[in-house]
Structure 1
Amino acid sequence: MPNTLTIIVPVYNEEKNLTRVEKELQSYIDQCKLKITVLFVNDGSKDSSLQIIKQICTQNKTFNYLNFDKNYGLSTAIKAGFDHAESSLVGYIDSDLQTSPKDFNLLLEYIDDYDLVTGVRSNRKDSLIKNMSSKIANGIRRSFTQDGMDDTGCPLKIIKADYAKRIPMFQGLHRFLPAMILLQNGTVKQVPVQHFPRIAGKGKFGVWNRLLGPLADCIAYIWMKKKYINYKIADKA
């Protein structure tokens, strides 16, 4: 198994969650055999998130941060994390902690044999409307991509860094990470993980951007798939 991991944590107006994020991630790091770095990506937060992140990173050298000059969106935050990671693996978890860092271990069990391992939120703790809109959006996306994934919106993933860094990024890409690995002839697996209710802060996606966004992104993905350049060197001198 690769032995270094960068955990990317996108942040947008999550001041009420960040102390808990540090505590839970540090608890996971303390019992994990991998060498782990946490990378906060502050996506133009308008609350005190940046100040709290800076304090965490000053006190704990395992934690680092990137700070955007304005809000660019989740996909850009994830891409920035990929670009700046220096580890053999990259992970991703949301700062709302509706998934548990401890469940990274469930994904790591398979990373030797797959290039991306993603969580599938079992027994989701969201509202009925949110669950239904996510289910419809996943069905739309799956019909376009044929990636076989049931829950690409799950904010808990592990990816081999060389694959992550080659992903051609666009807005909305966070819904298409498994499909982008498959474009590289990589392999993907999904694993059930825990899901928890949000206990602080506010969700960033509503019903409409959860439904209309994926449809528009699917069209962009189909265009990219047709134009995507992928090759293998058979021989050279």
Structure 2
Amino acid sequence: MTLDISIILPARDEAGNIGELLSEIGRVMADTDHEIVVIDDASSDGTRQVLALARRRMPQLRVICHESACGQSAAIRTGVMAARGRLIATLDADGQNPPGNLPALLAPLLQAAPEARIGLVQGQRVNRQDTWSKRWASRFANRVRNALLHDGVSDSGCGLKAFPRDVYLSLPFFDHIHRFMPAMVHREGWNVVTVPVTHAERLSGRSKYSNLQRGLVGIVDLLGAAWLTGRRKLPQTHELPMGLADTAGKDQPPLPRTRTAIVQDPVLN
């Protein structure tokens, strides 16, 4: 069975957040044919039991379990590989990405013409409900990342993302790729659209990484992502029409260049 939309949530030790989050997704997406795919990344706090109970009341919910913790990027990839939807939307399972943002996140992909070549809709958080140290670290990391990758995005770490499944599967995979998806999507010749999204305070549990841990891992990943983008050469192509051999070798118009567009939401501005 194929669907238009698969919503993917990587989850690790989110027993206190995941149940209500799933209910809210169900309410927001009630009028849209969809599936929800939760990847339990070897939780040890009862998350799997909460998911089993939710599965009884939500037929659109699927739960895939990692036997050992593999991290957020690997969990997202597991979900995308299992997804039946043509379009994928992701959000964090900690409750800080309100599901009410999903319609605005998916709208550019559902409404745009194919020639728009939208490969990613990236959420950009407004009024972040994080500690000042986490906000400062995120701003600093985003500035450094943008200086090296020039992806035109100011908040690539936001978990709210939407993209065609086939675009994601065309990207090179490495750990923490979810933080560099705008650059990787540009690398493959697709456009990136950004939309403002809301942000909520974490009500239960805690983040799995400190600012220092993110920074140390991020330096290595950033250098690797910069190397990857610098090594990609996109060929400009055209197909030779049948019976028109005299067109061979003639100059053809170049393919459109990628760009980052910003969708302004009057409610949030």
Same fold per TM (> 0.5)?
A: yes
RMSD: 1.8
1:191 aligns with 2:195: yes
Percentage identity across aligned positions? 27
Q: Deviations over 1:20-55 (max 9, x none)?
A: 11211111121x4x3211000011111111122122
Match of 2:143 among 139, 146, 167: 139
Structure 1 runs of 4+ aligned residues shifted over 6 Å read none
User: Gapped runs of 5+ residues in structure 2?
Assistant: 243-269
Q: Distance in 1 between matches of 2:236 and 2:4?
A: 27
Asked if residue 220 in structure 1 is aligned to residue 224 in structure 2, the reply is: yes
Aligned partner of 2:83 in structure 1 is 85
Q: How do residues 35-114 of structure 1 correspond to structure 2 at under 5 angstroms?
A: 35-111=33-109, 112=112, 113=116, 114=118
The one of 155, 158, 161 equivalent to 2:162 is 158
For 2:5 and 2:214, how far apart are their aligned partners in 1? 30
Q: Alpha-carbon deviation of 1:210? A: 2.5
Q: Distance in 2 between matches of 1:215 and 1:61?
A: 41
Flag the structure with more relative contact order, 1 or 2, with Cα contacts below 8 A and sequence separation at least 6. Answer: 1
Question: Is the 8 Å Cα contact of residues 125 and 198 (structure 2) preserved in structure 1?
Answer: yes
CA distance in 2, matches of 1:107, 1:187: 15
Aligned amino acid, residue 53 of structure 2: Q
Q: Report the Cα distance in structure 2 between the residues aligned to 1:118 and 1:179, rounded to whole angstroms.
A: 11
Distance of 1:143 and 1:181 partners within structure 2 = 17
Helix, strand or coil at the partner of 2:29: helix
- Is 1:168 equivalent to 2:167 in the alignment? no
Q: Give the structure-1-normalised TM-score.
A: 0.92
* TM-score, normalised with respect to structure 2: 0.81
Aligned residues: 233
Shift, 1:103, TM fit: 0.7
Supply the distance in 1 between the matched residues of 2:235 and 2:41 (Cα, whole angstroms). Answer: 34
- CA distances 1:128-153 after superposition (whole Å, capped 9, x unpaired): 00000011111111111110100011
Q: Which amino acid aligns with 2:87?
A: L
Structure 1's unaligned 5+ residue stretches are none
| 2:36 aligned counterpart, secondary structure | strand
Do the aligned partners of 1:134 and 1:210 also contact (CA within 8 Å) in 2? no
Which of residues 192, 196, 211 in structure 2 aligns to 1:207?
211
In structure 2, do the counterparts of structure 1 residues 228 and 46 end up closer, same or farther at CA, with 3 Å as the change threshold?
farther
**Structure 2 counterpart SS, 1:88:** strand
Residue 230 of structure 1 deviates from its aligned partner by: 5.0
